[in-house]
Structure 1
């Protein structure tokens, strides 16, 4: 019994009834003006449903009134993008009006029937009810009085469930909308991965430089060297803070495009940071770096940053050869340093995996691992 009566305590039951009643308010005005044309309000719904924005409004109404509080009710909240969506919207409007008419009938006439049956039980004849006429009152009609109220309760709950099911069918996302939503979700996941990679490369590089410089300054015991080390830590930390603030701004405003990311034109800053940290940099840059497309140049910068970070972290103060070459079709970036036992083998480490992922995302290739006595990072990125 408690389960049967539980819909009475749910707010959804009443919001669904309100959803069915809303279009009937306009219908009642129509019937007052044109009482002989009950079918008239259904005709304007056809051109109305073909308006793309109507689908958006109906989807929002359905979310608020048919499924209040649900996280993913399954309704489309976008304007109609295709003629199929428009025709589905027309069907929905007609179905909503038909179900609304049933809801109005049950909530208006069933209580009237209960009243008339109660009146007949007390000896009053019922002659003005178009649904039911009782010429001979009898006390036994009192046993029938609750039945219309039970029928009204069942119809209100049942029509609420039915209109929700119909709405999910006709206002649910089309195949094109599902694909668009999937693509948007994929873009969000890719953006999250990119942001995580950016933080790993930028903050990891800054911390590595700070640790190496602090250790070297403590070991050297030279005030002048300590000043240079602190300056390098300050510069690297400031750059890392700029990267962090930029990434946090993107996270706060998810639709704001990322801007201000460093490119290979600023590679000298990375090399100078590595030099101050003790690495012996031998760099050779050939070709116009400023002509490298933005996405390629930005990813190339991060690849170089992660490569130098790995050198400082695992090899320390060793000679490093950097070759960056740009031609009409390809950006070639190579970082080599003497192989040490501390450098991880191929396939391990999130930094190396990030280098390969960055290259693959741009349609390029990356090789990392031992090569002729050196540890090598060799990346080729297409410019087109």
Structure 2
């Protein structure tokens, strides 16, 4: 398509330039070569714009200065249009300067003709403006295409982040619920005859944990169906006491302490803190063989520190290789924080430092030691 347009433009330039030269009669035979030189090279202007423009311009200027019949400067007009549409700023300025000089020489020597100069100046200005508009449209289309490409990349990255978030949520919900259920199911048969009340409590805890897990799974899976801009109902710091109650129902002594002035963190920080505590408690239940676990929230001016410490079997609390600690670390990093996990004296500890929110507001958690 582009090649056909180029051939058509060149043919039009040749016809518009050569026909007036042929009409000059046999005495003006020398005009024909100049007419061809001022039009045929237009065919190669895309590959060699500067040499073609100089050739066309010089041929047109010589033809006008030597008294040839009036020729339409189609070749120079096409070249100037191409300068405006394709060339860099430096070449465009050079093209304007050379075109203006050639135009002045052609019209003012040997006999000045101001009227012709006026008409030709308008024609050249129009050609340059047309090329500039084409350049502007091409730049705009290129910018729009780049913007669409960037938006597509951002959408793909957002989808990947959302899939990763949902995968982490599903992992945390399922592992925590199953961990609590397994512990209660193992304890229930042992006490069903000797301590019916404890057995009933264990089975009630299994049912409550299962219902809570089903609700959280529904909310997590809803993220695959709901619009991306619709906020999902995610657990946060306010749900930590209920989480520890479920853990206490397994027989593990769980304590929540709060230091500093509580504030409401950003939503993603609150969700990350909850999920980190949930996953850490799941690891304690499944691997640590601990009797006590302490969850501590330390509110500082610029950060919230969440610590989970147990008195279990130390490094063995990590268990076999899995995604628990990796997932907790990814959650902390996703909202701009960090996480450390390792053995401490007489147990294992997980500590996450998360960015603080805006100005402190009324606390949503119970007092220390609750």
TM-score (norm 1): 0.53
Alpha-carbon separation, structure 2, partners of 1:234 and 1:345: 26
Match of 1:175 among 146, 153, 164: 146
Q: Is the 8 A contact 2:255 2:295 kept in 1?
A: yes
Q: Which residue of 2 aligns with 1:87?
A: 137
Q: Which residue of 2 aligns with 1:229?
A: 202
After TM superposition, give the deviation of residue 174 of structure 1 in Å: 1.5
**Structure number with bigger Rg:** 2
Q: Which residue of 1 aligns with 2:331?
A: 358
Q: Is the 8 A contact 2:269 2:335 kept in 1?
A: yes
Alpha-carbon separation, structure 1, partners of 2:136 and 2:351: 54
Q: Which residue of 1 aligns with 2:155?
A: 184
Alpha-carbon separation, structure 2, partners of 1:370 and 1:294: 30
After TM superposition, give the deviation of residue 290 of structure 1 in Å: 5.1
Size of the aligned set, in residue pairs, is 222
After TM superposition, give the deviation of residue 266 of structure 1 in Å: 1.2
Q: Which residue of 1 aligns with 2:284?
A: 311
Aligned pairs for 1:77-226 (under 5 A) are 87-88=137-138, 174-221=145-192, 222-226=195-199
After TM superposition, give the deviation of residue 230 of structure 1 in Å: 1.4
Q: Is the 8 A contact 1:323 1:334 kept in 2?
A: yes
Match of 1:330 among 280, 303, 318: 303
TM-score (norm 2): 0.55
Q: Structure 1 pair 85/246, CA: closer, same or farther in 2 (3 Å)?
A: farther
Alpha-carbon separation, structure 2, partners of 1:199 and 1:85: 52
Alpha-carbon separation, structure 1, partners of 2:352 and 2:260: 16
- RMSD value over aligned CA atoms? 2.6
Query: Alignment partner of 2:276: what SS?
Result: helix
Q: Which residue of 2 aligns with 1:248?
A: 221
After TM superposition, give the deviation of residue 87 of structure 1 in Å: 2.3
Q: Structure 1 pair 86/278, CA: closer, same or farther in 2 (3 Å)?
A: farther
Q: Is the 8 A contact 1:277 1:317 kept in 2?
A: no
Q: Which residue of 1 aligns with 2:246?
A: 273
Alpha-carbon separation, structure 2, partners of 1:84 and 1:253: 43
Structure 1 runs of 4+ off > 6 angstroms? 83-86, 170-173
Q: Is the 8 A contact 1:306 1:351 kept in 2?
A: yes
Q: Which structure 1 segments of 5+ residues have no match?
A: 1-82, 91-169
Q: Which residue of 2 aligns with 1:263?
A: 236
Alpha-carbon separation, structure 2, partners of 1:263 and 1:303: 11
Query: Alignment partner of 2:306: what SS?
Result: strand
